[in-house]
Every structure is written in C-alpha cells, then in structure tokens.
C-alpha cells in the first residue's frame, strides 16, 4: 500500500514546517486534534507516541507534561482506559485543566513560553 510513498520526504517536510513556524504548527495540530474523529485504538497510539517522546531524553520536563495534558484533553478516551495500558503515567493525568477557557489559557501560555528546537532532517534506513 505504501510502496511508492516517500516517508523520508514527508517526514522532512514536517520537520521543515516545524522549524519555520513551530508554535503555529503546534496550534494547528491542537486544532486538528479537537476536530479529529479517532478510535480509541488511534487515541492510544497517539498517547503512546507522546509518552515515548516525553521519555526519549530520559528527563521529564513540566512543559512536556503540559503538552501531554493539552493532547489528552482533546481525546475522548477515559483516564481509566489510558491507565489500564499505561499505569505509570498517572501523574500525567492529574486534573489541572478544568474548563475550555482555562485550556485555551494554558495552551497560549505553553505556546508563548515554549522554545521549539530546530530539528535536523531525517534519513531513513531502508532494508534491501
């Protein structure tokens, strides 16, 4: 199905877009997530990716948890279902986003203070 799809090119287009306008890219991502109609399995995949990203450098920053909470708030899956798969992230699910206006405020604060790193293009190794 994806034999003619150039993953490296597509990933690098996203990397370049993040490098050019990272905060707007994240805001657009949040907006897309608000309107997405994902299955619970797809939401768990998204949560897994976010968790792996948070732990990638073996340091958990509060800004990463805030980012996770922004993602989580936009998903329909219950905390119980998340914890059944990822019991070690209970602290990520602690309630501190109470209302939509508070979420908007926290998202704005995150985007104002976040330093979006510049990413290098990605080279994929293809098994021959």
Query: So where are the chain's domains?
Result: 23-113
Q: Supply φ then ψ for residue 36, to 5 degrees.
A: -75, 145
How many CB atoms sit inside 10 A of residue 43's CB? Answer: 20
Q: pTM for this structure?
A: 0.62
Return per-residue pLDDT of the chain as tens, 128 residues.
Answer: 556 777 788 888 888 888 888 888 888 888 999 999 999 999 999 999 899 989 988 898 888 888 899 899 899 999 999 999 999 999 888 876 455 667 777 777 777 787 777 878 878 776 65
- pLDDT at residue number 2: 58
Closest CA to 93 of 128, 66, 59, 56: 66
Distance (Å, whole) CA 103 – CA 106: 5
Distance (Å, whole) CA 34 – CA 70: 10
């Amino acid at each position: 199905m994806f034999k003619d799809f150039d993953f490296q090119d597509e990933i690098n287009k996203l990397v370049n877009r993040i490098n050019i306008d990272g905060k707007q890219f994240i805001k657009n991502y949040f907006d897309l997530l608000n309107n997405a109609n994902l299955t619970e399995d797809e939401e768990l995949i998204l949560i897994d990716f976010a968790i792996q990203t948070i732990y990638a450098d073996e340091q958990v920053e509060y800004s990463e948890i805030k980012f996770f909470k922004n993602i989580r708030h936009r998903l329909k899956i219950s905390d119980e279902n998340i914890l059944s798969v990822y019991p070690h992230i209970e602290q990520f699910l602690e309630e501190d986003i109470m209302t939509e206006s508070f979420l908007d405020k926290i998202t704005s604060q995150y985007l104002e203070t976040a330093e979006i790193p510049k990413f290098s293009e990605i080279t994929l190794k293809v098994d021959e």
